[in-house]
Chain A
Amino acid sequence: MDLAFEIIISGLLIAAGVFGIVGSFGLLKLPDTMTRLHAPTKATTLGVGGVLIASMLHFWVLENTLSWHELLITMFLLLTAPITANLIAKAHLHSFRADEKTSPTGSDRDWATFEDAAVEQQPMITGSGKNQNT
């Protein structure tokens, strides 16, 4: 019985490792900031999720101590990943407004980030030069 669980845990760990490295590799490989945003928010979430589930199973089956902290970390990461992705996208739109061809809103109001920038007119931090493809 333990052997079956060992196989499951090892499988989860290997899958998690593969997804983790794919997420970080995507960060290097994809062509511009908005596409790079996709790689870590998705691939890495399942990577860390796999590690956490494997850890939970490991402590539960092989060490006989039921531990719920992993569930807490997984929930926290699943809840915060969309928020960080959204904020990074907003910061990118703010910095490189002229370079991004965003689709129209379909009404007479602009996107919220652009409206805020038009209202405030504060000195802003922007990236170094243009959004070049590296």
Chain B
Amino acid sequence: MIEYALTFAFGCFGIGLLCNLYRIFIAPGVVDRVLALDTMVINIIALLVLYGISTKTGMYFEAALLFAMTGFVSTVAYCKFILRGDIIE
């Protein structure tokens, strides 16, 4: 039963990623693209954890944690750049 639920969740987050890609493609400005990238990062974390469940290894949590941190820092850096025109002042 878990296999079916896993497949369903994989499908949902995969379609979510495609939605985000389309949003990046049609976005009206830079801020929307940053927002879509941030959402992509969150979806990818979910996909990594799901893959960890389906292969029954705990190996992917470190990857997910690192991805969460890089995603957060990159979003902050993008926003800082839009706000200030510079990242490290």
A/B: CB atoms within 8 Å of each other: yes
Assess whether B19 is in contact with A28, with CB atoms less than 8 Å apart.
yes
Whether B58 pairs with A24 at a CB distance below 8 angstroms is: no
In the bound complex, residues from chain B placing their C-beta under 8 Å from that of A91 are 30-31, 34, 78-79, 82-83
CB neighbors of A among B4-41 (8 A)? 4-6, 8-9, 11-13, 15-17, 19-20, 22-23, 26-32, 34-36, 38-39
Interface of B, helix, strand, loop or mixed by DSSP: helix
The answer for the CA separation of A27 and B42 in the assembled complex, in Å, is 13
Q: Assess A24 versus B20: contact at CB under 8 Å? Given A13-B6, A91-B83, A123-B85.
A: yes
| Chain B positions near chain A (C-beta within 8 angstroms) | 1-2, 4-6, 8-9, 11-13, 15-17, 19-20, 22-23, 26-32, 34-36, 38-39, 42-43, 45-46, 49-50, 52-53, 56, 58, 61-62, 64-65, 68-69, 72, 75-76, 78-85
Other A-B pairs, 20, CB within 8 Å; known A17-B12, A129-B28: A10-B4, A11-B5, A13-B2, A13-B9, A17-B5, A20-B9, A23-B42, A24-B20, A28-B23, A40-B35, A48-B46, A69-B58, A73-B49, A83-B76, A87-B75, A87-B79, A87-B83, A91-B30, A120-B84, A131-B29
